[in-house]
């Protein structure tokens, strides 16, 4: 990518591809039931962003209670969902920006700024959830924040890193578009 720049056909789609992977991770976090799980016997507690499920004993029937009845549950879901929607918008804008033959670098910097805003909303939801869940929901045994919660954090970290990349990319506009004469450090005798 460095040698050929973003004008090179295969490298041009790396950033939208990474945003697409972030969208997939966000979908897994939103739909996953593994935000919180029991770590030790008895395995009686399981929760997602939307509901908390428990069973009286190992092998019993799960009973689920919606977290949307709590103000913090609605706040955590809403802020994470807003961050996810902004990520999807950035993904669509990146596809449009990189599909056009002439890259619009100010447009790319705007995508980076929007990714930072998405990261702020995602992190707010990811912080509200465990703090309020652990204080307001009764838990039995040892519980852990699990794989779906990890996918949520992975999405937020990708939003931050890609935001930096999108914001810094316009600084190298001439090098990327090939408008700079190459400098050679080796001269033949």
pLDDT, position 155:
96
Neighbour-count burial of 126, counting CB atoms closer than 10 A to its CB (0-12 exposed, 13-18 middle, 19+ buried): buried
Reported CATH class of domain 9-34+71-140+147-170: mainly alpha
Domain ranges across the chain: 9-34+71-140+147-170
What values do phi and psi take at 36, rounded to 5? Answer: -140, 135
User: Rounded CA gap, 116 and 110, in Å?
Assistant: 10
Query: Is the distance from CB of 35 to CB of 129 less than 8 angstroms?
Result: yes
- Report residue 134 as tokens: 């652990």
pLDDT, position 121:
97
Query: Is the distance from CB of 71 to CB of 79 less than 8 angstroms?
Result: no
- For the chain, 189 residues long, give each residue's pLDDT as a single digit of tens: 445 455 555 567 888 899 999 999 999 999 988 888 877 777 778 888 999 888 877 777 888 899 999 999 999 999 999 999 999 999 999 988 877 766 666 788 899 999 999 999 999 999 999 899 888 888 777 888 889 999 999 999 999 999 998 888 776 666 655 666 667 676 666
* Selection from 123, 125, 121 nearest residue 75 by Cα: 125
What values do phi and psi take at 33, rounded to 5? Answer: -95, 10
Q: How many CB atoms lie within 10 A of CB 186?
A: 4
pLDDT, position 31:
93
């Amino acid at each position: 990518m460095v040698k050929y720049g973003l004008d090179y056909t295969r490298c041009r789609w790396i950033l939208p591809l990474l945003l697409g992977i972030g969208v997939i991770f966000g979908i897994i976090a939103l739909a996953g039931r593994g935000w919180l799980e029991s770590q030790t016997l008895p395995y009686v507690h399981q929760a997602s962003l939307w509901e908390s499920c428990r069973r009286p004993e190992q092998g019993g029937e799960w009973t689920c209670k919606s977290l949307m009845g709590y103000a913090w549950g609605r706040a955590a879901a809403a802020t994470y969902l807003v961050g996810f929607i902004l990520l999807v918008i950035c993904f669509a804008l990146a596809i449009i920006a990189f599909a056009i033959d002439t890259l619009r670098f100010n447009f790319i910097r705007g995508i980076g700024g929007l990714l930072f805003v998405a990261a702020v909303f995602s992190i707010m939801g990811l912080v509200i959830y465990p703090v309020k869940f652990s204080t307001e929901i009764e838990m039995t045994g040892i519980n852990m924040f699990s794989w779906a919660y990890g996918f949520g954090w992975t999405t937020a970290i990708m939003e931050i890193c890609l935001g930096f990349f999108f914001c810094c990319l316009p600084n190298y506009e001439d090098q990327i578009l090939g408008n700079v004469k190459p400098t050679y450090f080796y001269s033949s005798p």
